[in-house]
Structure 1
Amino acid sequence: MGVVKAVCTSDRRGIQKTDVTSAQFQVGFGIVGDAHGGNWHRQVSLLSYEKVEAFNEKGADVGAGAFGENLVVEGFDFRNLPVGTVFRCNDVVLEMTQIGKECHTHCQIYQKMGECIMPTQGVFAEVRHGGSIRVGDEMVIVPEMKDPRMTAAVVTLSDKGAKGEREDKSGPLIKQMLEDAGYRVIEKVLIPDELERIKIELMRLADGRQANLIITTGGTGFSPRDCTPEATMAVATRNAPGIAEAIRAFSMTITDRAMLSREVSVIRNQTLIVNLPGSPKAVSESLGFVLPSLKHGLDILTGADAECARS
């Protein structure tokens, strides 16, 4: 059980938040009146009271809301809880959606201390049920409310698509196929063929959002801009080549040009990352072929199943 120590909001982004003692939480938005509210996965930010106190003991001397956090809660080490954890406080139900975030600009706290705890210790949540929270309220974890489905993310790599010059047809197709197979697609992004950008997105989705499965589409050919396999290998902790090999072998029965596709499949911690070609036709054929087998591999990877061999 945790206890709410501060409820903080701000009327614009990029500034410290102010402890307002109580606030109203709205489904599909976040905290009413807070600048970070919206239809996205980072509606509410949470930070451990103990982490703030430990940071202050180093000489930071900061108050509630200084890191841009909405809720400061005593009793939880948020950083060590898995994404998908569900909290209840009064009528409010929050589902944790991301751990940490990339720090684009160093704040005053960083300038003073040389570090900031929000990028590493802060977590984010969506509001699943609305209501009010005030300082002193108790917060509990509700394990039976956690969604049991495997989570997935879709990443489309396309320079023209990112510029709005080409419609992304493969990303929505992958999303639909995954949902039809029982996955919960937590995010779908469209970014250009840039090595570092792809690496950052894959790491964010695997580490911060803890997606069980990431499917990419595009950037697997011979063009100098096609760097998806290189970015994927760069973030891997283990190789899982059989999936990509199976896709190429199956695709060779359809077209001999499949030998020119460079897609890879890897593991990053407990996330499986699979590259697919860019065309909707190739996506449908490739993903349709391997999708039935991925669930068992993910069960092994996440510890839900411990045996691969058949009797």
Structure 2
Amino acid sequence: MGEIRAICISEQRGTKKYEIAQADFKEEWGIVGDAHAGQWHRQVSLLSLEKIDAFKSRGADIEYGAFGENLVVEGFDLAALPVGSRLQAGDVLLEVTQIGKECHSHCEIYERMGECIMPKEGIFARVLHGGRIKKGDKIESVAESVKSTYTAAGRRTYTAAVITLSDKGYAGEREDKSGPMAQQMLLEAGYEVAEMFILPDEQKMLEQELIRLADQKQVDLILTTGGTGFSKRDITPEATIAVCDRMARGIAEAIRSYSMTITKRAMLSRAESGIRKETLIVNLPGSPKAVREALTYILPELGHGIGILRGTEGECARK
């Protein structure tokens, strides 16, 4: 059980939030009157009081709302909560959608102190049920989580993201057909596809997105398409290796082995597969035909692996 120590809003984005005594929370919108409310995944931002106090002890003269946080909460290590966790204060029910955020420009606090805690310690949530929260209200973690929902067929629902690597696709010179193919097959298999986008063949850019999706969005599965060949611009395997804590090369080897029964050129694939924290990353080929073939072969087995990784399924051993 925690306590709401401050409620902060701002009417315009990019401006410092100020403290108010109470706020109305609108379902699937956010705090009424706050500039960051809207139909997106970062409707409400939260920061732990303990993290703010620790930062202030280093000489920072700041007020509540200085980091852009909507709610200051005492009694929770908010950044340790997994995405999908639910927090309830009175009638208001929040669902955690992101841990931390990427700062594209340094704020005033960073310029003055050389660091800012919001990128690592702040969390974001959407409003599942509206109501009113007052300063001093209690807030608690409730057991329900999106990670434990099931499809009508009784299979656990996992979240996924699809990234296509293509210089021409990113520039709008070529239609991406591989990403939509992967998305369609994921949806048919019961996955929730949180994001799908195209990147140029730039290693650092891909690394940043893989880290964001694994650490902040905490998706269960990331599929990449393209960038796995011999071209000097094919950097997908290198980016995957760079961000993974452990490799899971059996998946990439299985794709190559199966694809070799279709075309011998599959031996030229440098695709990798690995794990970052609790997210599985799998490199797929660049053509929609090859994506369909690879996913047809591996997708039925990935759910079990993800379940073991997430701790929701046990290891299986055959006698």
TM-score by length of 1: 0.93
Deviation sequence 1:221-261 (CA, Å, 0-9, x none): 22222211110011111111111111111112222222222
Q: CA deviation at 1:186?
A: 2.4
Match for 1:189: what amino acid?
A: F
Q: Which residue does 1:285 correspond to in 2? A: 293
Within-5 A mapping of 1:232-247:
232-247=240-255
| 2:124 partner SS | strand
Alignment counterpart, residue 231 of structure 1, candidates 239, 256, 262? 239
Tell me if the contact between 2:85 and 2:144 (Cα under 8 Å) persists in the aligned partners: no
Q: Which residue of 2 aligns with 1:126?
A: 126
1:171 aligns with 2:190: no
1:182 equivalent in alignment to 2:190:
yes
Distance 2:62 2:109 in 1: 8
The CA deviation at 1:156 is 1.8
Q: Distance between the aligned counterparts of 2:39 and 2:178, measured in 1?
A: 23
Distance in 2 (CA, whole Å) between partners of 1:135 and 1:127 is: 18
> Per-residue deviation at 1:23?
2.6
What are the Cα deviations for residues 140-174 of structure 1, in whole angstroms up to 9, with x where unaligned? 21113544132222222222322333333322332
Letter matched to residue 117 of structure 1: I
Q: 1:303 to 1:257 in 2, by over 3 A?
A: same
Q: What corresponds to 1:156 in structure 2?
A: 164
Amino acid of the residue matched to residue 278 of structure 2? Q
Matched, 1:135 2:109: no
2:169 & 2:41 partners in 1: Cα distance?
23
Q: Residue in 1 aligned with 2:256?
A: 248
Cα distance in 2, alignment partners of residues 143 and 301 from structure 1 = 20
Give the Å deviation of 1:106: 2.0
- Report the AA paired with residue 254 of structure 1: I
Matches within 5 A, 1:207-218: 207-218=215-226
| 1:56-110 C-alpha deviation (Å, 9 max, x unpaired) | 1222121111001111111211011111111122222211111111222222212
- Residue 318 (structure 2) pairs with residue 310 (structure 1): yes
Say if 1:300 and 1:308, in contact at 8 Å, map to a contact too: no
RMSD (CA atoms): 1.8
Contact persistence 1:100–1:122 (CA under 8 A): yes
Q: Which residue of 2 aligns with 1:144?
A: 144
* One-letter amino acid matched to 1:296: H
In 2, Cα distance between equivalents of 1:27 and 1:169: 35
Partner SS, residue 175 of structure 1: helix
What secondary structure is seen at the aligned counterpart in 1 of 2:119? helix
Kindly provide the CA deviation profile for residues 34-64 of structure 1, in whole angstroms up to 9, marking residues without a partner as x. 2223333222111011211222122212111
Alignment partners' CA distance in 2, 1:91 and 1:245: 50
Does the C-alpha gap of structure 1 residues 278 and 32 become closer, same or farther in structure 2, counting only changes over 3 Å? farther
User: Shift in Å at residue 285 of structure 1?
Assistant: 1.0
* Residue of structure 2 in register with 1:99 after alignment: 99
In the alignment of these two chains, the number of paired residues is 311
Separation (CA, whole Å) in 1 of partners of 2:14 and 2:166: 30
Could you tell me which residue of structure 2 aligns to residue 33 of structure 1?
33
Q: Which residue of 1 aligns with 2:271?
A: 263
Residues 212, 15 of structure 1: alpha-carbon distance in 2 compared, 3 angstrom cutoff: same
Matched letter for residue 255 of structure 1: T
Confirm or deny: 8 A CA contact 1:101 1:208 kept in the other structure: yes
The code of the aligned residue for 1:192 comes to: P
The corresponding residue for 2:65 is 65
The answer as to whether partners of 2:8 and 2:71 remain within 8 angstroms in 1 is yes
Report deviation, 1:5.
Answer: 1.6
2:203 paired residue among 187, 195, 216: 195
- Determine the C-alpha separation between the residues in 1 that align with 2:145 and 2:230: 46
Alignment of 1:290-301 (within 5 A): 290-301=298-309
Identity %: 62
DSSP-derived class of the 2:283 partner: strand
- Measured in 1, the distance between the counterparts of 2:21 and 2:124 equals 20
| Aligned-partner residue type, residue 105 of structure 2 | T
